[in-house]
Structure 1
Amino acid sequence: MRHRLRRAGAFALVASAVLAAPALGRAAAVPFAAVAVLAAFVVEEGRFFDLFARPGDYEDRRLNGLAGFALAATALGVLTALPQAPMPTTVFAAAVLSLAYGVLGREFVRGSTSDEFATTTAFTVTAFLAATLGQVAVAVAADAFDPVAVPTYVFLAATAALVAALLRSVLFPRDDPIVMVSVGFLLWLLSALVVAGGVTLTPSLVAVGLAVTVGLGIVSYVLRTASVSGMLTGVLLSFTTVVLGGVGWFAVLISFFGIGGLAAKFRFEEKDARGVAEGNDGARGAGNVLGNSGVALLAVVGYAAARAVVPGTPVPTLLAFAFAGSVAAAMADTLSSEFGGLFDAPRLVTTLRPVEPGTDGAVTWQGEAAGVAGAALVAVIAALAMPLAPDAGGALGGVGVASAVPVDVAAAVVLAGVVGMTVDSLLGATVEGDVLGNQAVNTLATLSGAVAGVLLAVLVGAVSTPSPAVLTAVVDALAVAVPTLAPLLA
């Protein structure tokens, strides 16, 4: 255990070389490139080797872990030297330091406990502090520090810590290069959105948003409606939504997280006995949360990008409808499954023939009614608090509150939710299990709800159809955003 802690400390010391980036300028990648060469080709034994070596390194007589870490940092460092639109050195620092110091914090706590919640919390908190202080230190060294930028530093640091903890614990537990590069590109995208003027960050918005989302995430874990990975994912999605969209968007998303999580726990023992209960005692993991909310994440990032790239066009509003439609679909599908599974005589959606409870694609009228009610709740919140209604003001986080529920807007969101719920049932009855897994089905269902929300918004006249030139600009923006977010949606 002491060796693991010493090794983590040594990696953190190497990562601290990023603080010299302002002084090195275009040569910011050089220290990490030198470390990569030493680790891969020069150091084969001795105290330096023992300090950085992982178990598999002794067999290869090569510091593979250190070489990969340094190469990833080198790649990000090279991007800071691009002649046009370079990666900010603050982003470079946040990506490198969040991973290295997060691991150090985790290993420090692992000396006294192996509890997953404790070690993950230690990783996230340490990564957040290191990324925040690292950005400030780099900005000061570059003589570019501005107190107005502190909320942005906090936002990027929190995002880096959450994404690094999530990727490392769920997808790539030992693949530091993938984690570091993924975090770096995501922060680069978010930083570009802020600089482009699409997002206005204030200390109160970031501080309250972080406190509320982290608090609700902890509550979801304590109530066992989410696992540790599910909690991390929910906090990440919620925090991103409240910062990039606003309080109204957060209200829509949290309605799904809260009600959907409690619905999974409702009469759980009875559903478990019938074979229709959510796995892991009803605690939703990262895959389930992303399957239901990944499309909403893309929509809110796209909304922020559209406000920067094509302001004054219908595109931001269309993406708001996509967000509302995807969340309505997730809510409708979740409630129809959780409540419908409690009733007898389910029927297969494709043939309407009676089937056993728990059969993929089986529906009951009670479940369908619960799904419609869930979509309606999302629709009312979205119509009141999101930028969907023409008379929206500016009361909630810059996105406004409608003076009354616009019937056409709410109807569009409800129908979008029903479309997503129906697509989920159809996919469950036809391809789920043999061709697609549950997470993929959930993603396609919420995507269909998002598409339906956009089409219905145009159909009811809530927004006009954007011109081909505007659509081309949006496609170009998505071409940048989607690859950056791909590791989270994998």
Structure 2
Amino acid sequence: MERVLMQPLTAILISFLIAIRAYRKKSLNLSGALSGFLVMSIHLAANLRFGALLLVFFFSSSKLTKIGAEKKRKSDVEYKDGGQRNWLQVLCNSVVAAVLVATIWKLVRWDDKCLDSKESSLITALAGGIIGHYCCCNGDTWSSEIGVLSEAQPRLITTLKPVRKGTNGGVTRTGLLAAAAGGGVIGLTFVVLGFVTATCSTDIALKQLLVIPLSVLSGLGGSVIDSLLGATLQFSGFCSVRNKVVGKPGPTVKRISGLSILDNNAVNFVSIIITSLLTSVACVYIF
């Protein structure tokens, strides 16, 4: 009974403090802070380990956004100090995981489970989806924020031709390595906390270490999927007036690549869905 009250109340308090701090630091605007408070509360109230994955993604991406701000401002026409993510960006990067976390809570309440298909393939699949979700989010963000600082010339992932920095679907070796690292951090967080919060047999506990290489692949794969979608279904063009790469056609804009079918939020959302599904299937197969 005590946990029924204490964990949700603690989750609400922590989420409120983080949302206020993020708003003051300009990592989130007002709508982003409100939606962030909601999804953080759901994660932390239902499962501390999944809440930690969200927080690792949020804090690391917010910190990386601020690194090399002047350089990013020159190449990104939509750059905002601190990031200032709005409600749509927050939900595109967290709502799928929030639904999966709530579903797991409905099934097992606060009992934190190891990945074990023999015990429950459904819980393993749902947890794998959450891991894949944040590996994709973190990997893609690390790739974007670190890759743009690389001195290497980006290449369009579909043709490998050199493109301007800021072009959707443009990749660098540094960016791809950053994506793999971003995914790996999510996997490492899940495994380390699991040794404390989850109870399972020794052989199953040790097998959880396989989450780390799987997460590295999920981070890299999620970034590649995002880049493929960006290169094909998201418009990129060079504006001769702004002297920057832009995401919408116009009289002063020369097309670089992509069709005007998806915007950046939609690309992120679709890549998250695909990566979550693939990681979910992989977890059921591996564990």
The TM-score normalised by the length of structure 1 is: 0.48
Deviation at 1:358, TM superposition (A): 0.6
Whole-angstrom distance in 1 between the partners of 2:216 and 2:35? 26
Which residue of the other structure, out of 251, 264, 271, is the alignment partner of 1:445? 271
- Pairing 1:259–2:60 present: yes
> Any idea what the Cα deviations from partners look like across 1:404-448, whole Å, max 9, x if unmatched?
683322222222222211110000000014001111111111111
The 1:432/1:400 distance shift into structure 2, 3 A limit, reads: farther
Deviation at 1:239, TM superposition (A): 0.7
Which residue of the partner structure matches residue 182 of structure 2?
A: 374
Deviation at 1:280, TM superposition (A): 6.2
1:106-185 maps to which residues of 2 (within 5 A)? none
The 1:336/1:277 distance shift into structure 2, 3 A limit, reads: farther
CA contact (8 A) 2:154 2:164 kept: yes
Deviation at 1:383, TM superposition (A): 2.0
Whole-angstrom distance in 2 between the partners of 1:222 and 1:451? 35
Which residue of the other structure, out of 51, 62, 84, is the alignment partner of 1:283? 84
Whole-angstrom distance in 2 between the partners of 1:405 and 1:382? 13
Whole-angstrom distance in 2 between the partners of 1:229 and 1:400? 38
Which residue of the other structure, out of 337, 343, 349, is the alignment partner of 2:144? 337
CA contact (8 A) 1:205 1:243 kept: yes
Whole-angstrom distance in 1 between the partners of 2:206 and 2:25? 34
Whole-angstrom distance in 1 between the partners of 2:182 and 2:145? 12
Whole-angstrom distance in 2 between the partners of 1:342 and 1:329? 20
Deviation at 1:316, TM superposition (A): 1.4
Which residue of the other structure, out of 230, 233, 237, is the alignment partner of 1:428? 230
> Any idea what the Cα deviations from partners look like across 1:452-471, whole Å, max 9, x if unmatched?
211211332x1xxxxxxxxx
- Pairing 1:236–2:38 present: yes
Which residue of the partner structure matches residue 456 of structure 1?
A: 282
The 1:236/1:428 distance shift into structure 2, 3 A limit, reads: same
CA contact (8 A) 1:260 1:335 kept: yes
Deviation at 1:336, TM superposition (A): 0.4
Which residue of the partner structure matches residue 238 of structure 2?
A: none
Which residue of the partner structure matches residue 116 of structure 2?
A: none
Which protein, 1 or 2, shows the higher relative CO under an 8 Å CA cutoff with sep ≥ 6?
2
The TM-score normalised by the length of structure 2 is: 0.80
Which residue of the partner structure matches residue 97 of structure 2?
A: 296
Which residue of the partner structure matches residue 249 of structure 2?
A: none
Where does structure 1 differ by over 4 angstroms across 4 or more consecutive aligned residues? Answer: 399-405
**Equivalent position amino acid for 1:314 in 2:** S
The 1:453/1:375 distance shift into structure 2, 3 A limit, reads: same
1:194-233 maps to which residues of 2 (within 5 A)? 201-233=3-35
> Any idea what the Cα deviations from partners look like across 1:66-114, whole Å, max 9, x if unmatched?
xxxxxxxxxxxxxxxxxxxxxxxxxxxxxxxxxxxxxxxxxxxxxxxxx
Q: Helix, strand or coil: the match of 1:202? A: helix
**Equivalent position amino acid for 2:169 in 1:** G
Which residue of the other structure, out of 210, 219, 241, is the alignment partner of 1:417? 219
**Structure with the higher fraction of residues in helix conformation:** 1
**% of aligned pairs identical?**
28
Aligned residues: 251
CA contact (8 A) 1:428 1:441 kept: yes
- Pairing 1:355–2:163 present: yes
> Any idea what the Cα deviations from partners look like across 1:293-327, whole Å, max 9, x if unmatched?
1221121122223448xx96321121011001100
Whole-angstrom distance in 1 between the partners of 2:131 and 2:276? 7
Whole-angstrom distance in 2 between the partners of 1:281 and 1:254? 17
CA contact (8 A) 1:277 1:338 kept: no
**Structure showing greater Rg:** 1
**Equivalent position amino acid for 1:353 in 2:** K
Over the residues paired in the alignment, what is the CA RMSD in angstroms? 2.3
Stretches of structure 1 lacking an aligned partner (at least 5 in a row): 1-147, 152-200, 387-391, 463-490
Which residue of the other structure, out of 192, 217, 240, is the alignment partner of 1:384? 192
Whole-angstrom distance in 2 between the partners of 1:223 and 1:457? 37
1:68-83 maps to which residues of 2 (within 5 A)? none
The 1:259/1:335 distance shift into structure 2, 3 A limit, reads: same
1:473-484 maps to which residues of 2 (within 5 A)? none
Whole-angstrom distance in 2 between the partners of 1:413 and 1:227? 30
CA contact (8 A) 2:57 2:137 kept: yes
Whole-angstrom distance in 2 between the partners of 1:325 and 1:435? 25
Deviation at 1:400, TM superposition (A): 5.3
